[in-house]
Amino acid sequence: MDINAVNALSFEDFLEIFGNVIEKCPIIPAAIWIHRPFKSLADLEAHISDFIDSLPEAGKEGILRCHPDLAGRELQSGALTRDSQEEQHAAGFTDLRPEEVSHMRSLNSEYKQRFGFPFVICARLSGQRDITRELQRRLGEGREAEREHAIGEVKKICALRLRNLVLSDPPNKL
């Protein structure tokens, strides 16, 4: 759909379509709906980003806690959102051998114990091996730096999900 169609959506339809652009956080699209009409896809994305940036640290961590573990129990049980299922599949997490699943669970557990929220990375932009290396690297970060890094990844995920829903802005005419 184009941005005009987005702007014409009822509140309920807007939430139905955009409710998971930030994993399991429909309150974010609900909060930015009042900013319609959006000028463009970039404007819609900027309102979401600004809303996230305006949250206190506890709110940002709440967003992070809504994300599933990579190769975690939700994936194994089929309980992921459709978006997360597709993203983890694209990164290769649905085809792991049992020992790889066990290794990821161990890393996820260590990460959550250290930071208090799950490891978040834009899985569509990397493969399973690169993601595993990045998880190991980020285990060495400080809590504040890691929270900001993870929020940046949430924004990347959101941008890609939005681009799956809304046509890109037309190029500027000269």
Q: Which residues are catalytic?
A: 67
DSSP conformation letters of 104-134: HHHHHHHHHHHHSS-----GGGS-HHHHHHH
* Euclidean distance between CA atoms 156 and 80, whole angstroms: 19
CB 23 within 8 A of CB 88: no
Beta strands in 39-106 (DSSP E): none
Report cis status (omega within 30 of 0) of the bond before 37: yes
